[in-house]
Each structure stands twice: as structure tokens, then as C-alpha cells.
């Protein structure tokens, strides 16, 4: 039997745990529509850009150290949508941004 666990985190939670800031870009699709995309992650300590893969490995290690993920789990996958929903150019509403981590355990 395989048990799959899915952890959904707001990008702000990831930023807090890793002490990073997500860097976004906005692209105008048409006259009144913007698309928000993740360009990368920037360390708040060093101001250096981090590879997404390296940041996700760090996050996985932190979640294991905090007993959110069992210590026996070695492999995981993640979904970090690089581009979010399209919103109206004049909209003040924030687009929700989430990271999803998935891992499977064999029982």
C-alpha cells in the first residue's frame, strides 16, 4: 500500500520558513489584463538568488526537522506554479499563491 501526503503552503509561509522573498514579474497580456509569474527566490540574508530546486530541498529539510514530514521520507515532489491566474489590470485583489509538496510512503 502507498500513502500519498499533500502539503499546501502559502508562498508567505515558505518565505518565512526559508527567510527568502519570492520575486514576481507581471506581464501585460492585453489592455486590461496582467499575468503574475514567479521569477525566482531571493535570500533575505545575502540578497542572492536561489535556485528553486535548492530552496525546495531546504524547505523539505525544515519540514522534516519540524516533524511535519516523517524522518523516514527521502523523496518528494513539488508544484510551484510559475504563472498564476490572470487578473484585471485595475483589480486590487491579490492573486493567491501556493506551493504544493507531495510525498509517498510505502506501507
3-state SS string for 59-96: HHHHHHHCCCCCCCCCCCEEECCCEEEEEECCCCCCCC
84-91 contacts: CB < 8 A, separation 24 or more? 84/35, 84/36, 84/37, 85/36, 86/29, 86/33, 86/34, 86/35, 87/33, 87/34, 87/36, 88/32, 88/33, 88/34, 89/28, 89/31, 89/32, 89/33, 89/34, 90/32
Q: Band the pLDDT of 68: cuts 50, 70, 90.
A: very high
Would the pLDDT of 82 be above 90?
Answer: no
98 with 11: CB under 8 angstroms?
yes
Would the pLDDT of 84 be above 90?
Answer: no
**Cα 3 versus chain centre, distance:** 22
Q: What is the pLDDT of residues 10-67, one digit of tens each?
A: 989 999 999 999 988 878 777 777 777 788 899 999 999 998 889 999 999 999 999 9
**Cα separation, 75 vs 105, whole angstroms:** 9
Q: Write down the pTM of the prediction.
A: 0.78
Amino acid at each position: 500500500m502507498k500513502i500519498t501526503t499533500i502539503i499546501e503552503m502559502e508562498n508567505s509561509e515558505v518565505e518565512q520558513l526559508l527567510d527568502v522573498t519570492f520575486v514576481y514579474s507581471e506581464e501585460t497580456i492585453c489592455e486590461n489584463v496582467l499575468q503574475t509569474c514567479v521569477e525566482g527566490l531571493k535570500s533575505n540574508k545575502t540578497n542572492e538568488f536561489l535556485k528553486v530546486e535548492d530552496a525546495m530541498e531546504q524547505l523539505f529539510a525544515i519540514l522534516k526537522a519540524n516533524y511535519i514530514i516523517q524522518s523516514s521520507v527521502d523523496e518528494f515532489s513539488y508544484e510551484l506554479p510559475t504563472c498564476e491566474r490572470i487578473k484585471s489590470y485595475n483589480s486590487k485583489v491579490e492573486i493567491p499563491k501556493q506551493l504544493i509538496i507531495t510525498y509517498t510512503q510505502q506501507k
